[in-house]
A = this chain, B = another copy of it.
Amino acid sequence: MTTKVALLGFGIVGKGTYRALTQNAAEIERKTGKRIEVARILEKNPAVIESGLAPKELFTQDFESILADPEIKIVAEIIGGTEPATTFMLRALKAGKHVVTPNKAVIAANYDMFRRTAAENGVQIRYEASVGGAIPVIETIRKSLVANRITKIQGIVNGTTNYILTKMEEEGLPYETALKQAQANGFAEQDPTADVEGIDSANKLSILIAECFGVYIHPRDIDRTGITQITRDDLRLATQHSCKLKLLASAEFKEDGSVEAFVRPTEVSSESPLAAVRNEFNGILISCNMADKIFLSGRGAGMDPTGSAMAADIISLA
């Protein structure tokens, strides 16, 4: 059985998703009996279209033709940003197509609306790739821990800030130098605000809170402190306390039904598995009432890891 998919955008994650679906197609068919066909790619950049990474005839600049194609059952939104991503996802859901996205900002800002629109149209919206990249955190919360009451979730969910803090600690670099190194190595954007101010982590934490506790908190309502004020002294102090300083995204479900959530540089005991998450890696620790503590870590970003998670969601929907 072949399922047709459209990719909206062919940037880093678009290419990774395409690679995961095509390069490992035989593996996917052996394991699941399913064939996934990337039928259309919405992209207007001529350099990308001519790059040879995907056959030229797949590219289109016409979103309406994707919407109108009844054979396309799944739309992968990989444009990024707020618009037209939000509009495209809503229109795809309303057209009866499943939507898969790594777009944490858009999902976090409109969690309820997307879930409701999907349910109303008998389709699903999936976003495993939006938190922790290749790490199967949403699948673990939804499926593997389904028979648990989750009490707390703590994560290092932003690779940029973890890279910077690791370099500051291990190499004694000041913040500005570590940030420049992260930018030079492709782990930080030229405008690093969303990462270093904790905005990206708050978006991801908002999604994790909804998944773990069934409660939606808008990212702007999460108590948030970034890492721009962190000094080498803060890192030395953490070391003296047998801790590592990490930008922690944390949420705890309280007895009274409230959720205590924050994104904040936090001293993590060196006995915690979170302390061992170095450089650009992500890690998430889930506490619950039957399984106790489950820890997951891996690459939280990048072409292939994010493509791997996008492909898993697409295959699962197929």
Contact = CB atoms under 8 A, between A and B. Distances in A.
A20 B290 contact: yes
Given A139-B144, A147-B312, A312-B144, A307 B290 contact: yes
A144 B136 contact: yes
Contacts of A16: 290
A191 to B, nearest CB: 26
A116 interface: no
A21 B147 contact: yes
Interface residues of A, number: 52
Contacts of A149: 24, 27
Nearest to A24: B147
A27 B299 contact: no
A148 interface: yes
Interface stretch (A28-36, A95-103, A259-267): A28-36
A140 B289 CA distance: 21
Given A27-B149, A312-B146, A296 B296 contact: yes
Interface of A: 16, 19-21, 23-24, 27-28, 30-32, 128, 134-136, 139-140, 142-149, 214, 271, 273, 276, 278, 288-299, 302, 304-305, 307-309, 311-312, 315-316
27 contacts: A16-B290, A20-B147, A24-B147, A24-B149, A24-B290, A27-B146, A27-B149, A30-B214, A134-B144, A134-B290, A136-B143, A139-B139, A143-B143, A143-B312, A144-B308, A146-B311, A147-B307, A147-B312, A273-B297, A276-B276, A288-B308, A289-B304, A290-B305, A291-B305, A292-B302, A293-B298, A295-B296
